[in-house]
Structures are given as structure tokens and as C-alpha cells.
Amino acid sequence: MTSTAATPPRPLAGQGLILLSVLAVAANLRGVIASVPPLTKEIASGLGLGSGWIGALTALPVLCMGAFAPLAHRAAIRSGAATPIAAGIAAISLGAALRGLGGHTSVYAGTFLAGVGIAVVGTLLPGLVKHLFPPERAGLVTGAYMLAMMGGAGVASAVSVPLAVALGSWSHSLALWALPAVAAFLLWLPLSRRIHHDAPSLDTDDTPADVRLPWRHPTAIIVTTFLALQSWQFYSSLAWLAPTFVDHGWSGERSGYLLSVFTATQMVAGFAGPALADRIRDRRLLLLPAAAAIAAGDLGVLVAPDAAPWLWATLLGVGQGASFAVGLVLLVSYASSTSASARLSAMGLGVSYVLASCGPTVMGLVRDGFGGFRSVWGGLALLVILQVAAVARLRPDLEPVGHG
């Protein structure tokens, strides 16, 4: 194998425009998911769904993100990353629009289609960032990517209920998120051919035998384990934070604002985490405090939800945002080449999202079984212990994927 680790990315004219396109695409990677929790009461009433099925509505795109990540990697090997990303954005827009029909089939089918698009885009963007931008800027660009992604989620969670009121339908509110996806598609499409020329298919720096996912690589296993635990925490919190406080008598609109605080603080931590990761080689120094913030937030919601709800949401957002953003940096820093980063991303994101997709549904079933949300947050607090154990193994001297 010929490694590209020592070969700097080719400079691109107009990198600012490419960065803008990357950020526009990233802004659509969570809005379809984050727009659902503030509307769970209305959706459940309109479709006659229990907590398990509502949890599945949040979990379905996450499952797609895991199941289709390896397929996205294979598509990029054949045609490069730029074209599949364009197709993924189109799928997000079509899926969001389909949910506007409001029936059982259209809501779940649209969510599935949008999830496939999110899987393709989310898998391929980290590797593309590694190629298109200098290594010393990888953390900063990843932070900007996180800022855009969490910003989209924050806006979606904050305005979903007001939009449903203004439009007279929860389904129309969900469908509205097709518009920013269409805008991102129109911005990305003219640049995709140029990006494809400068960042060709991912098999250019590996032999055919090296395109397989690194299932047995110790570093890949550790990174994947961390991402799986973090993703379970994040999507379970995203699905059930707002409904928990609705259960405590909050309005859907106010709980949506609480969820927007959760996502807004992720924006700040998601930007700061990768920027600090450019300067701190041992990423455990960032990930352990993040885990502590998550634990504090989980325990706060569990023990005293009404005492300081905005603080608990802030702690959860800071911890989750930093954990996920630094996790994306790991997909780049623990890889020796562009294609190795893509393979590590396909494995790490694929496995973690498949497992994490069970989180909202399982926690919904736990809530139904125990008759309250305390069991949900108690279970999430216990999972932090396993997350800390995984973080402890992320030494800076681990062998990168692609070596050997």
C-alpha cells in the first residue's frame, strides 16, 4: 500500500466556497431528526403511536446511518465522494418532503429515505475534509462542520412547534426541512465535479485488498466502541429530553426551547473541542471532562429535573457536543490516509449508529415498562461508566488504521 500520510492535500482554488458548501451540507445532517422530539405528543396523537414507536421514529434515521455507512464507502471507492454526497443531500430533501403527507407509511418511509441520505453524507464528509484541507486545519474545519450540524439541529428543535402552529399541521412542520436540503444541494452540485477532480475515488492510495473495513484493527475497535457508547447517549438524550419535561407539565414549545439549548451548547463545545484537539495530542484530556459533564446532566435530570433544567440541558449539550466532535477528529487522526479515514469512518459510524439506533426505542420501552422517565436517565448515567472505560484506552500512541 502506498500511504498518503506524508503527501499534503493539493491546494484548491476557492477553498472558502468549498468550505461554505461543506457547512451547508452539514447543516442538514440533524435537522430531520431534531425536528421530531418537540412534536412527539402531536405525532403520537395524530398517528396513535406509543413511546416505543415514537422512539423508533427518532431511531430509524440513526439505524440507516449505521446500515448504509459501508455502502456509502463502497460507492465512494467507485465514483469518489462528491457525487454520492450530492445524491445523499437529494435523498434528505425528498425524505423530509415525503413526511409532509402525514400518514403512517409516508412518515416512516420519508424518515427512512432521509436517514439513507444522512448516512451517505455523514460517512463521506470526514474523509473528504482530510483530503481537501491541510492537516493542521482538520480540527478547525471539523469544528466548523460540527457548528453547522448542531446549529441546524438547534434551529429545528426550537421552531418545530411554532411552525406546526403557524402551518396548522405537525406534518407540514416536518416537511419544511426539505427546503434547506434543497438549498444545500443547489450549492453543492456545481462544485461536486470540481471537488471530484481534486479528491478522486478513495482507492487511489490503496490496493484493492485494502478497501475492506478494518474489523480486526485494535485501534478501529476502540474508536468504534467509544463512538457507539457516545451515540447511544446522544440519540437517547435527543429523543427523550423534551418528552421528559413535557411529562413534568411543560408545554411542547417550552420543551422545544430546552432541546434547542441542548443543541446550541453542542454547537459551542463541538466547535471548541476539535480546535483544542489540534493542540492537545492526548484527546483523553478532552473526552474525560466531556464524559463528566454528561454524567452530571444525566444525574441532574434523574434526581432533580425541575431544580435546574436549563443547567442539565447545558451540561448534556457540552458533554455530547465535545464527545462527538472529538470523535470525528479521531476518525481522521487515527488514520494514515484519506481512504483509511474513510474506512475507519465507515466502520466506526456504521457500527455505532446501528447500535445507537436501538437507544431511543429501548429507552422508550424502558419508560413504558417502568412507567416513568427516571429509569431512562438512570440507565444513561450508568452507560457513562462504560464510556469512560473506552476513553481511557484512546492513547495517543495507538497504531493508525492503514499501517501494517
Note the pLDDT of residue 130: 65
Note the pLDDT of residue 14: 58
Tell me the pTM.
Answer: 0.73
Of 381, 372, 361, nearest in space to 300 by CA: 381
More confident site: 235 or 197: 235
More confident site: 377 or 134: 377
Q: Sign of the CA dihedral 56, 60, 62, 66?
A: positive
| Mean pLDDT of the 365-369 span | 82
Q: Go through the domains of the chain in sequence order and give each one's CATH number.
A: 15-392 (1.20.1250.20)
Q: Are the C-beta atoms of 126 and 345 separated by less than 8 Å?
A: yes
More confident site: 287 or 138: 287
Distances (CA, A) of 129 to 88, 214, 236, 255: 17, 20, 28, 35
Condensed to tens digits (0 to 9), the pLDDT of residues 322-366 reads 998 899 889 888 988 777 877 888 888 888 888 888 887 788 788
What are the two backbone dihedrals, phi and then psi, of residue 310, each rounded to the nearest 5 degrees? -70, -35
pLDDT(4) > 70:
no
Q: Are the C-beta atoms of 394 and 283 separated by less than 8 Å?
A: yes
Of 338, 74, 332, nearest in space to 204 by CA: 338
Torsion angle of C-alpha atoms 229, 118, 209, 79, degrees rounded to 10 = -170
How far is residue 184 CA from its own chain's centroid? Answer: 17
